[in-house]
Structure 1
Amino acid sequence: MSTSAIDFRIYFQEPQAHYAEIEMNIEQVEQDYVDLKMPVWTPGSYLIREFARHLEGFEAFADEQPVAFTKIAKNTWRVENPKRKLKIRYRVYGFEISVRTNFIDADHAFISPAGTFLYPDGLLHHACTVRIDLPESWQQVSTGLRKLPMEANSYFADNFDILFDSPIEIGNQDIWHFEAAGVPHEFAMVGGGNYNKRQLTEDIQNIIETETLIWGENPNSRYVFITHNYQNGGGGLEHLNSTVLGASRNAYHIDSSYKNFLSLVAHEYFHLWNVKRLRPIALGPFDYEQENYTEGLWIMEGFTAYYDNLVVRRCGFFSAKEYLNALANEFNLVYNRAGHRIQSAAQASLDTWIKQYRPDENSINSSISYYNKGAMLAAALDIYIIAQTAGKKRLDDVMRAAYQLFYKKEQRGFEEYEFQQLAEAVTGLDLTDIFDAAHDNRELDYNRFFNAVGYEMIDLNRDSQDLSLGIRYQQQDGRLFIKNVERGSAAWDAGLNVNDELIAINGIRLDTEGKEMEFLLGQAHEHDIIDLLVARDGRIRTIHSPLRRSSRQLWSIQPRQNASEQETALGKIWLSINT
């Protein structure tokens, strides 16, 4: 392995002010000009984030002499007439806490490469090196990039796709190593926490072994977990041979929180296969300057959202009841959004660029998450395959076959119809109904699937007489404001608006905790008309609204009474623990 002619250096002059300095060297420049670009988004997080807005102080030199440059687009700098060794210097600002953006302070630096490194137009395929100058008080670097031998804190990427997919943690993180599925793994904990290294290592080894068993092989030669611990944290982002996770530093000893963290680990690690290798055609190679559209995120993220909790169950961390509650929550999250009648799973996938990461007050009425809906559809597929093949096949077999065909053999992405065709070939089943359901707003009869393995879905609120206006409200500066108005609810029809201040109800002033509202709803009757005194943009008005039964659903998945022995046996296969 030789070093490349494109070299980056990262150093920190003012980390306490949230800046990193970047130096880029390009040798053997032969063009009359070079266009240097910064990605506008980062893979795995489908939103145009405009990373270039955090770049400043751009300078260009050829053979150490300043040369002219022009910013010709929001993310593009054109350097004129270099034809020599080119050096670029700039700074990036990073102070956004997330798994996908730069964060730099006096304690550490998290470097998201897509928001940090420029690339020469037309040279995404080019190899490059990254050298990191550590501040005196920092000792550690954690990244999935390959380390350069004999050079401290220096790394190599075969191309910019790999560079942009390899986050870098720099500081004094707690690092330990272990092996799982025959692969060396590194765990880097940032920000402290009450985690138990031994227990965490054993549990994550179990997850890795279980997922490797599903897919048939582990594609890594090395893997890195980077976990940022906050007072309250969460979220994750997958990468080619690493992941970045968010967690609450003092919640590892809380059973439910710890199991949720294990589910997050299982989710992001599952992406090693499902998204990073097995993928729709649209998701690679990437165009870093614009949206990369696909309707297939319900498969990539939705199936992964199904498997994360299922893997935790197979590892024995979830009881059967805990797992079924987690699965039922996917249904509750979808069915308690009026948007599930408006947007399909495929539409949600395509619209992720404008909706998933930009929620507003009307999102509950107009959209769903392809994570939740995709998990529902994956559950239907898995159960249907198990039931129809008498337990001889399941969704695992489909995923493994797709990985072998599209990624290993044909080395390409897939179209959805190809994925369906392969699934039907592997199982010998017609899966049209389930795949079609991803593209329209009709709902499958999910009990048709659950009943076949001895379970049933029950809406525990189906006989509820609870009344509701169909609003959500929140306290702000000692006052109550409407946060959401549910489509088709009494408040929707009566004309209550988001941001209306709720002052009084039927002549009684509302308290800031909403107790008066709860009391009235508990005493009133369906179809009663109530008078709401509200302030809208400073103007007082009274709105008359009827009361209706709450549309809130509370789904539970439970063993079905009178299930046959065969159905019960199939259910045991579905929820089996690895032995």
Structure 2
Amino acid sequence: MKTIFSFFALLSVLVVVAQTNTYEISFENVVHHEASINATFSDLEMDTVSLRMSRTSPGRYALHEFAKNVYGFKATDSKGNLLKVYRPDPYEWKVTGHDGTINIEYILFANRGDGTYSQIDETHAHLNIPATFMYVPELNKRKIEVTFNVREDLNWKIATQLPFVSGTTYMAPNLYYFMDSPTELSNFTLKSFEVDSKNIQLALHHNGTETEADTYFDKVTKVVLAEKEVYGELPNFDYGTYTFLACYVPNASGDGMEHRNSTILTSTRSLANGGMERNIGTVSHEFFHAWNVERIRPKTLEPFDFEAADMSGALWFAEGFTSYYTNLILCRAGLISPKEYVEGLAGNFNYVWTSPARQFFNPIEMSYQAPFVDAATSVDPVNRENTFISYYSYGSVLGLALDLSLRQKDLNLDDFMKLVWQRHGKKEIPYTIDNLHTLLNEYAGKTFGDNFFNKYIYQSGMPDYTTLFESVGVILQQSKDRPYFGFSVSMNEDGKGARIRRNPKIGSPAYNSKLSMGDIILNINNIPFLEGQKFADYLKQFNIGDSLVVNFSRFGNAKTTTLIPAPSPSYSILLMEDVDQAPTTEIIQKRKEWLKTE
């Protein structure tokens, strides 16, 4: 999801900048989730200095108002004299009357450990930089040094992509790199290995054993090597190291967030409690971003804006194609079986192709919705069930279709990604959607490229998956004998009704019956619910085509409607062998080439 670190910003890594902004952060009050932060900005030439808290975070596209967690702000000059501060907006502190130097101090409250926010407690200081440190926009090219006053009594160490200076001080060549550099202070375990003269390391903060850490790092290693094979090489990490910052602790919130030379991985699942298998998918997704998004960068995200939402129409490719590779890489690395991989495709497939949202937006337009859905919050009800498909999922199933379509021409998506990498990512030339279209035309032929983009990117068409799947020995089928009602419910605690908890999908039996979210289904055909009965079990007594009388309550008023169950629109995706069909030797070989299995 981000970078904010353009090719020209990268050049500034090599430039020695005279002025340096300095920060210091301390953690005396961790039990109450507070940090004390001091910063100094010197050699100032402007009369009024604007200090801001970011409204966005690298990798996110929605607004996140970090200023709400800042208090106790004070500014002084080099002699300790208090300076005048006024607030023109909620995100900004303007300081005047300085003598060329401004020292600031403030308190930060932080208690969410994920890929966007910061969390401070007795277990760690989990720091996302935009959520933690104020900055001066006009000084964005200055070098930055930050000192982390670690809690030695808690055995904290420091893991970050920031280059080491000395002691507990680290540096960033400019503001962009600083904001893109999450940092973990905790009693973590550090594992590393070297590949192609580059250091890959895992800073693992967890409550498990050393043996678990070794086993998990072996999985991480396999993922790294499998993804390297897609592109043929690793990126040139700016300081020679890539770091996975993993917090698998009960107080974390599940997330993953890529950065230029590191990634954050958070989960409440310990390695001993399912995390060994379930957390590795996030590793696969986020490390793929080291190429796709971090260096193969949409032009619409350059430069990254810390003061407004960042919108891009390319997220179906940046996030979606990355999502396609997430589980494919696990299969190629031997971490899941071909059967698990193929059957696991059904979830995204059903979500995308049974959604009515495609009548409203194509993949580019779905990508535009990111500022409203990417961990964004709102209090008013929305109709996302009918109007939105995640660009992660949409792009993933389109990546699958493109890969299988290319393989019918003895081409493949890996080599197309290599081409995009060579033309854009390796040279750090941001791309447009037109660039992707042109490259696909070059790689697979103009007719093929135009057909894919015109039908499936600029429009919302559905590829012929039945034929595509059969080419690799996979069967796509629908369960036409299973009734579909079209509502999602939760049983009332008193057992006297089931509340519809989502907007019914357009065209579903529930929608056509004019049922709505919030309605309470009292009974169907006057058959009462049994004590403790699950709603799914209750529905098993009704069949496709039955004309059912639904008694329900809306706003306290009793109502009745008629509902006719339809055949289920959901698909199953299975290996041919599992439905008593024998794939040919040629088909088996094509599947092995796709999944890279023996």
Amino acid at match of 2:150: L
Where 1:22 maps in the other structure, the secondary structure is strand
Shift of 1:520: 4.8
The partner residue of 1:522 within 541, 548, 552 is 541
Is structure 2 residue 40 aligned with structure 1 residue 25? yes
1:387–1:570 CA contact under 8 A, matched in 2: no
What is the rounded CA distance, in whole Å, between the counterparts of 1:412 and 1:490 in structure 2? 49
Amino acid at match of 1:543: T
The partner residue of 2:204 within 189, 193, 211 is 189
Where 2:87 maps in the other structure, the secondary structure is strand
Shift of 1:475: 4.1
522 and 475 in structure 1: CA distance in 2 versus 1, 3 angstrom threshold: closer
What is the rounded CA distance, in whole Å, between the counterparts of 2:232 and 2:570 in structure 1? 39
Give the structure 2 partner of residue 543 of structure 1: 560
2:63–2:376 CA contact under 8 A, matched in 1: no
Give the structure 2 partner of residue 431 of structure 1: 449
1:30–1:83 CA contact under 8 A, matched in 2: no
The partner residue of 1:177 within 192, 200, 208 is 192
Is structure 2 residue 174 aligned with structure 1 residue 156? no
Give the structure 2 partner of residue 81 of structure 1: 97
Give the structure 1 partner of residue 4 of structure 2: none
Q: 1:333-360 CA distances to partner (integer Å, 9 max, x unpaired)?
A: 2234333443322111111111343586
107 and 248 in structure 1: CA distance in 2 versus 1, 3 angstrom threshold: closer
Q: 1:206-247 CA distances to partner (integer Å, 9 max, x unpaired)?
A: 211221222232222112112222459633111111111123
188 and 513 in structure 1: CA distance in 2 versus 1, 3 angstrom threshold: farther
Where 1:9 maps in the other structure, the secondary structure is strand
What is the rounded CA distance, in whole Å, between the counterparts of 1:511 and 1:50 in structure 2? 48
Q: 1:452-479 CA distances to partner (integer Å, 9 max, x unpaired)?
A: 34434222x1x224242x2111246546
TM-score norm. by structure 2 comes to 0.88
Is structure 2 residue 261 aligned with structure 1 residue 241? yes
Give the structure 2 partner of residue 260 of structure 1: 278
Where 1:354 maps in the other structure, the secondary structure is helix
1:181–1:209 CA contact under 8 A, matched in 2: no
Matches within 5 A, 1:317-328: 317-328=335-346
What is the rounded CA distance, in whole Å, between the counterparts of 1:516 and 1:55 in structure 2? 47
Q: Which moved further from structure 2: 237-246 or 340-349?
A: 340-349
2:64–2:376 CA contact under 8 A, matched in 1: no
2:126–2:183 CA contact under 8 A, matched in 1: yes
2:115–2:255 CA contact under 8 A, matched in 1: yes
Where 1:196 maps in the other structure, the secondary structure is helix
RMSD: 2.5
What is the rounded CA distance, in whole Å, between the counterparts of 1:432 and 1:40 in structure 2? 39
What is the rounded CA distance, in whole Å, between the counterparts of 2:403 and 2:542 in structure 1? 45
Alignment: residue pair count: 565
Give the structure 2 partner of residue 386 of structure 1: 407
1:62–1:86 CA contact under 8 A, matched in 2: yes
Give the structure 1 partner of residue 464 of structure 2: 445
What is the rounded CA distance, in whole Å, between the counterparts of 2:272 and 2:458 in structure 1? 39
Give the structure 1 partner of residue 592 of structure 2: 572
The partner residue of 1:41 within 56, 63, 77 is 56
Shift of 1:324: 0.9
Q: 1:351-378 CA distances to partner (integer Å, 9 max, x unpaired)?
A: 1111343586632211101111101111
Matches within 5 A, 1:97-496: 97-138=113-154, 139-148=156-165, 151-193=166-208, 196-218=212-234, 219-220=236-237, 221-231=240-250, 234-252=254-272, 254=274, 258-358=276-376, 362-388=383-409, 390=410, 393-409=411-427, 411-428=428-445, 430-436=448-454, 437-459=456-478, 461=479, 463-468=480-485, 470-475=486-491, 477-478=493-494, 480-484=498-502, 485-496=504-515
Where 2:549 maps in the other structure, the secondary structure is strand
Q: Which moved further from structure 2: 244-253 or 29-38?
A: 244-253
1:180–1:208 CA contact under 8 A, matched in 2: no
Q: 1:502-532 CA distances to partner (integer Å, 9 max, x unpaired)?
A: 3444444435755366335424562423132
Shift of 1:155: 0.6
The partner residue of 1:16 within 13, 31, 42 is 31
Where 2:286 maps in the other structure, the secondary structure is helix
What is the rounded CA distance, in whole Å, between the counterparts of 1:476 and 1:154 in structure 2? 56
247 and 433 in structure 1: CA distance in 2 versus 1, 3 angstrom threshold: same
Q: Which moved further from structure 2: 561-570 or 117-126?
A: 561-570
Give the structure 2 partner of residue 90 of structure 1: 106
554 and 356 in structure 1: CA distance in 2 versus 1, 3 angstrom threshold: farther
What is the rounded CA distance, in whole Å, between the counterparts of 1:343 and 1:356 in structure 2? 17
1:361–1:498 CA contact under 8 A, matched in 2: no
TM-score norm. by structure 1 comes to 0.91
Unaligned runs of 5+ in 1: none
512 and 419 in structure 1: CA distance in 2 versus 1, 3 angstrom threshold: farther
Give the structure 1 partner of residue 550 of structure 2: 531
Give the structure 1 partner of residue 9 of structure 2: none
Where 1:371 maps in the other structure, the secondary structure is helix
Shift of 1:55: 1.4
What is the rounded CA distance, in whole Å, between the counterparts of 1:201 and 1:288 in structure 2? 34
Q: Which moved further from structure 2: 297-306 or 100-109?
A: 100-109
Give the structure 1 partner of residue 13 of structure 2: none
Unaligned runs of 5+ in 2: 1-15
Shift of 1:163: 1.0
Does 1 or 2 have the higher relative contact order (CA < 8 Å, sep 6+)? 2
481 and 432 in structure 1: CA distance in 2 versus 1, 3 angstrom threshold: same
Amino acid at match of 2:345: L
Identity of aligned residues (%): 25
Give the structure 1 partner of residue 12 of structure 2: none
2:519–2:552 CA contact under 8 A, matched in 1: no
Amino acid at match of 2:265: L
